[in-house]
A and B are shown apart, each in its own frame.
Chain A
Amino acid sequence: MNGEVIHNDGRIRVSGRLTLGDLKDVTASLEGISAGNHVLDFSDCTSIDTCIAARIWSITEAKTANGALLEFQGMNQDIKALFDRFRAIDERPQIPVQKHTLLYNFEDIGDKVLATWDTVFGLVTFTGKAFKALFSGKVRGSVVAYYMEQSGVMAIPIVITLNWLMGVVLGYQAGYQMSQFGGELFMPALLAYSICWEIAPMMTAVLVAGRSGSAFAAEIGTMKVRQEVDALEVMGFNISGYLVTPKMLALFLVMPLLITAANFAGMAGGLTAGGIFLKMPAVVYIDALKEALIPFDLYWGIIKGFFFSVIISVTGSYMGIRVRGGPAAVGKATTSAVVVSIFLVIMVDALLSLLFIHIRPGLSL
């Protein structure tokens, strides 16, 4: 402790050099002041730091409010300047703080609705621009190929592995339940319908949204932060054509292939589960699949893939292009890209499923 605070019959002597380390002692000394007149004597004090000054000031204010009167004496220029600054802050008109009233909550909801509407409107406009650029600009084949490799070829192992595992789980669960009633022979059909109609397209879309949608948002978002997008724009480049359409076209081409691979992986998972848990011979399993499935079931996943590819690529790119500010905004953009993509994929999937029931041959309500 370099300085100290000593009480002496209504006179409080502050001496030496008080720094942050003395905060506890200074607080304890000043808290003990009772009502009445007191003098805070700084004559022997060489300096105090901002934290000590702030504490002395706040305790002084509190004591004054409780009826004590504290007079500061003997301050050198620097110490006086510190307290003058606190005094000026106290005298400044207070900035009104927004109170969280019920009305504020409604306003907040309104703001969020408007922000969501802005996002939806922006996304639709952005999609339109991307399609316009796709049909009016030149396609840079090498860039499309690059994204096909990144989003398609490199995703194959994870897509196949996860869908195979889903097939195993579904095959085992379905087979176990059905075997209770001697109906395990229906497991291949149930599994094939689940995989081809829903599981494979959906799992693949979720994986691609997580891998590629977020990567697109991060890539374009980083370019935005580094002013690369602005540079391209003022050089006269069509941003949609240059940055978005190669990604959209690449996903459009690889997504149906990934879903097809996922279909077969899922059904292979069912075969594995059937063989291991139900002792079902492969020939029986495959014959049951042949009987249950029609080509339309496989095409359906491909059709869904086209829709999902546009949703994921455009949403990822849009979230990237909306980035403003620093690197933290890029992180938010990648999160938004994945969340919004998956939400839209599920929404579109629900609509397509309604349609599916009416158009699949041999299926009617």
Chain B
Amino acid sequence: MTEKIIQMESLTGGYDGKVVLRNVSIDVLKGEVLVIVGKSGCGKSTTLNYMLGLHKPYSGRVLFDGVDIWSSQKVLDAARKRWGVLFQSGALLGNYTVIENVMLPLKEFTSLTKAEMMDIALSKLEVVGMEHAAFENPLEISGGMQKRAGLARAMVLDPEVLFFDEPSAGLDPVTSAGLDETILSVNRSLGTTLVIVTHELASIFAISDRVIMLDPEEQGIIATGAARDLGDNSEDPRVRAFFGRKMGE
């Protein structure tokens, strides 16, 4: 489990000329569950957006499988077909049904028949426990269901890496735990690499192999390691304060 699938090298970036991340380097290892945590405004989602190639960094680069994703649009497009993303809101298209949303990547990038696409989409919806809502409008189902449907769409092309932006945000603890289990099962059964941005401590402890903690003042990483180690052994008061809520300090 040591092969690097994503390398963020000395990346500096932000919004509107304002620096949010300064000289940040992150390696994502094949098959691991990497969780990025930190206070609000520390650049968690920004980091994810740079990994996804949604913004071009001010400096530094992002490599996917050893190739700079910004070397050409072709490379970026090819890399994106090997990823899946679950956005905070689920980001389902409101003018399609749930199953049509899940079938979207299949329609665009494969030459499968409609029946084949339906089979695949339904099987993915079954993995996330959403087959019963396949023909619902995404805007008429609950937030938790939207996220699970979003996960089914993210998984439909069997991606090598799945990115999650705040998967538990706005969900009750039981639904959140259920989603965590689904996410973990994807990692365990398919060996998919997972990169998750969250600040839900229960999720961090339940699913992470490794945690990277960002800090807004440092504009970069202040801790990296296993969640429990960071909570128990970190000498940095900011890290202890973050994990301390769970550890009962």
Q: Is A362 an interface residue when CB atoms closer than 8 A count as contact?
A: no
- The answer to the question of A237 belonging to the interface, with a C-beta cut-off of 8 Å to chain B, is yes
Given contacts A233-B80, A235-B80, A236-B108, 10 further A-B contacts (CB under 8 A): A227-B87, A228-B91, A230-B52, A230-B91, A231-B87, A233-B54, A234-B53, A234-B80, A235-B104, A242-B108
Q: In residues 231-252 of chain A, which contact B (Cβ within 8 Å)?
A: 231-237, 242
Taking the closest CB of chain B, its distance from the CB of A354, in whole angstroms, is 39
Taking a contact as CB atoms under 8 Å apart, the answer to whether B77 and A230 are in contact is no
B104 & A226 in contact (Cβ 8 Å cutoff): no
Partner of A228 from B53, B54, B93, B105 at Cβ < 8 Å: B93
**18 A-B pairs, CB-CB below 8 angstroms?**
A226-B89, A226-B91, A227-B91, A228-B94, A230-B85, A230-B91, A231-B85, A231-B150, A233-B80, A234-B53, A234-B163, A235-B80, A235-B85, A235-B104, A235-B108, A236-B80, A236-B81, A236-B105
Interface size class of B (residues with CB under 8 A): 20 to 34
| Distance of B147 from chain A, by nearest CB (Å) | 12
Complex Cα distance A226/B93, Å?
9
- Given A227-B87, A227-B88, residue A234 in contact with residue B93 (CB < 8 A): no
Q: Does A69 contact B (CB under 8 A)?
A: no
> B residues near A, CB below 8 A?
52-54, 77, 80-81, 83-85, 87-89, 91-94, 104-105, 108-109, 150, 163
- Choice from A230, A236, A242 contacting B87 with Cβ under 8 Å: A230
Q: Of all chain B residues, which has the CB nearest A222?
A: B94
Smallest CB separation, B30 vs chain A (Å):
20
A226 vs B146: C-alpha distance in the bound complex, in angstroms? 12
Q: Which of A228, A230, A233, A242 contacts B92 (CB 8 A)?
A: A228
Question: A residues 50-72 with Cβ under 8 Å of B?
Answer: none
CA of A252 to CA of B87 in the docked complex: distance in angstroms?
34
A144 within 8 A of B: no
* Alpha-carbon gap, A25 to B53, bound state (A): 61
Query: Which residues of A sit under 8 angstroms from B80, Cβ to Cβ?
Result: 233-236
A contact residues around B94 at 8 Å (CB)? 226, 228
Which residues in A have some Cβ–Cβ distance to B below 8 Å?
223, 226-228, 230-237, 242
Which partner residue on chain A sits nearest B79 by CB separation?
Answer: A236
Q: How far is the CA of A226 from the CA of B150 in the complex (A)?
A: 13
| Partner among B89, B92, B105 whose Cβ is within 8 Å of the Cβ of A235 | B105
Contact among B53, B81, B91 for A231, CB-based, below 8 A: B91
A233 — which chain B residues lie within 8 A by C-beta?
Answer: 54, 80
CB distance from B48 to the nearest CB of A (A): 10
- List 3 A-B pairs, minimum CB-CB distance, nearest first: A231-B91, A236-B80, A227-B91
Contact A223 B93 (CB under 8 A): yes
Using Cβ atoms and an 8 Å threshold, which residues of chain B touch A234?
A: 52-54, 80, 83, 85, 163
Residues of B within 8 A of A236 (CB): 77, 80-81, 105, 108-109
> When chains A and B are docked, how far (Å) is the Cα of A233 from the Cα of B93?
13
Q: Is A237 a contact of B108 with CB atoms below 8 Å? A: yes
Chain B residues with CB under 8 A of A227: 87-89, 91
Q: How far is the CA of A236 from the CA of B150 in the complex (A)?
A: 16
Docked CA distance A195–B8 (Å): 61
Residue numbers in A under 8 Å from B108 (CB-CB): 235-237, 242
Complex Cα distance, B81 from A155, in Å, reads 39
Q: Which residue of B lies closest to A235 (CB)?
A: B105
Query: CA separation between A234 and B88, bound complex, in Å?
Result: 14
- A-chain residues with CB within 8 Å of residue B87 when the two chains form the complex: 227, 230-231
CB distance from A142 to the nearest CB of B (A): 12
A237 CB contacts on chain B under 8 angstroms: 108
Contact between chains at B89 and A230 (CB < 8 Å): no
A235: chain B residues within 8 A (beta carbon): 80, 84-85, 104-105, 108
A236 to chain B, nearest CB (A): 4
Looking across the interface, which residue of chain A has its beta carbon closest to that of B159? A235
* Cα–Cα, bound, A231→B87 (Å): 7
**What's the nearest-Cβ distance from chain B to residue A111, in Å?**
13
CA A47 – CA B141 in complex, angstroms? Answer: 48
Q: Within the assembled complex, what's the spacing in Å between the Cα atoms of A237 and B87?
A: 16
Chain B residue at smallest Cβ distance from A324: B15
Neighbouring A residues of B163 by C-beta, 8 Å? 234
Shortest distance between the CB of A107 and any CB in chain B (Å) = 16
Alpha-carbon separation in the docked complex, A230 to B163 (Å) = 13
A225 to chain B: closest CB distance in Å? 9
Instruction: Determine which residue in B80, B81, B84 has the highest number of CB atoms from chain A within 10 A of its CB, and name it.
Output: B80
Residues on the A chain within 8 Å of B81, using CB: 236
CA distance A230 to B88 in the complex (A): 11
Chain A proximity of B127: nearest CB distance (Å): 18
Measured between C-beta atoms, what is the minimum distance from B162 to chain A in Å?
11
Q: What's the Cα separation between A230 and B51 when bound, in Å?
A: 13
Shortest distance in angstroms between A115's beta carbon and chain B's nearest beta carbon?
12
- B112 to A: closest C-beta gap in Å: 15
With both chains docked as a complex, state the minimum distance between the C-beta of B143 and any C-beta of chain A, in angstroms: 12
Question: How near does chain B come to A341, taking the closest CB pair, in angstroms?
Answer: 23
Residues of A within 8 A of B93 (CB): 223, 228, 232
B6 to chain A, nearest CB (A): 14
Most buried by A among B54, B84, B88, B108: B108
* Residues of chain A with a CB closer than 8 A to B88's CB: 227
* A235 CA to B80 CA, complexed, in Å: 6
Taken together as a complex, chains A and B put the C-alpha atoms of A236 and B106 apart, in Å, by 11
